[in-house]
Amino acid sequence: MRHTQVFAGILLVTATSVFASPRGAAAAFAIREPPAHRGGPASSGASPFPFQNGDAWITTVTGTETITVPGSQSTTQPYDYTQADVEICPQTFNGFANLCADQETYSNQLDAVTTTYYGYVSQGALTDLDLYGGAFSFNANGYAESGSYTDAPAAVYYQFGGSKGSRFGAETTIDEAWQFSQPGGISGTVDWLIRADGTYNFVQRYAMRRPRTKTTQIIRDLAGGAGEIETVQAGKGSSTTTVTFGVPTVVSGAWVIPVTTTTPSGASTVDVPDWFPGNGPAPKKLQREEVRDEGLVKMPAVCGPYSGTDAEDFRATFYELDPSRGTYATDTEDDYFIDGTGAVCVPEMTDEKYFDNTTTGALAEDDLITDVQILTSDNYGQALLRVLATGPAHASAARSAAGSAMHGRLRPFLHGRRLGALPAL
CA angle 145, 375, 83 (to 5 degrees): 20
Q: What is the pLDDT of residue 89?
A: 87
pLDDT beyond 70 at 243? yes
Summarize pLDDT for 371-410 with one digit per residue, the tens.
999 999 877 654 332 322 222 222 222 222 222 222 232 2
C-alpha span between 96 and 134 (Å, rounded): 12
| Lowest-confidence segment of 166-175, 217-226, 289-298, 303-312 by average pLDDT | 166-175
> In terms of pLDDT, which residue wins out, 84 or 260?
260
Q: Which residues contact 145 (CB under 8 A, 6 or more apart)?
A: 14, 15, 16, 136, 137, 138, 139, 178, 179, 180, 181
Q: Cβ distance 343 to 315 under 8 Å?
A: no
For residues 263 and 258, what is the distance between their CA atoms, to the nearest angstrom? 17
What is the residue-averaged pLDDT of the chain? 77
Q: Does residue 4 or residue 117 have the better pLDDT?
A: 117
At 135, is the pLDDT very low, low, confident or very high (cuts 50, 70, 90)?
Answer: very high
Residues 339, 387 contacting (CB under 8 angstroms): no
Predicted TM-score (pTM) of this structure: 0.81
**Distances in Å between the alpha carbon of 203 and those of 24, 177, 215, 260?**
20, 10, 11, 20
Question: Residue 414: in which H helix or E strand, if any?
Answer: helix 411-414
Q: What percent of the chain has pLDDT over 70?
A: 76
What residues contact residue 344 under an 8 Å CB cut-off, 6+ apart? 303, 306, 311, 336, 337, 338, 374, 375, 402, 404
d(CA 328, CA 287) in angstroms, rounded, equals 10
Distance CA 309, CA 298 (A): 5
Element (H, E) at 115: strand 109-123
Q: Which pLDDT band holds residue 219 (cuts at 50, 70, 90)?
A: very high
CB atoms within 10 A of CB 261: 17
pLDDT confidence tier of residue 310, bands split at 50, 70 and 90: very high
Alpha-carbon distances, residue 96 vs 23, 71, 113, 240 (angstroms): 20, 52, 22, 42
Query: What pLDDT score was predicted for residue 3?
Result: 28
Query: Could you give the 3-state DSSP secondary structure of residue 119?
Result: strand
**H or E segment and range at residue 296:** strand 287-298
Looking at the DSSP assignment, which residues form a beta bridge with residue 399? 388
Whole-number pLDDT of residue 206: 92
- Whether omega for the bond prior to residue 153 falls within 30 degrees of 0, making it cis, is yes
Q: What is the mean pLDDT of residues 74-85?
A: 93
The greatest distance separating any two alpha carbons of the chain, rounded to the nearest whole angstrom, comes to 70
**What is the C-alpha R_g of the chain?**
22
pLDDT in tens, 57-74: 899 999 999 999 999 999
Give me the half-sphere count of Cα atoms (radius 13 Å) on the Cβ side of residue 382.
5
> What pLDDT score does 142 carry?
86
Task: Give pLDDT, residue 154.
Answer: 86
Q: Which residue has the higher pLDDT, 34 or 424?
A: 34
Per-residue model confidence as pLDDT tens digits over 5-57:
222 323 333 333 333 333 443 333 444 444 432 222 222 333 444 457 888 88
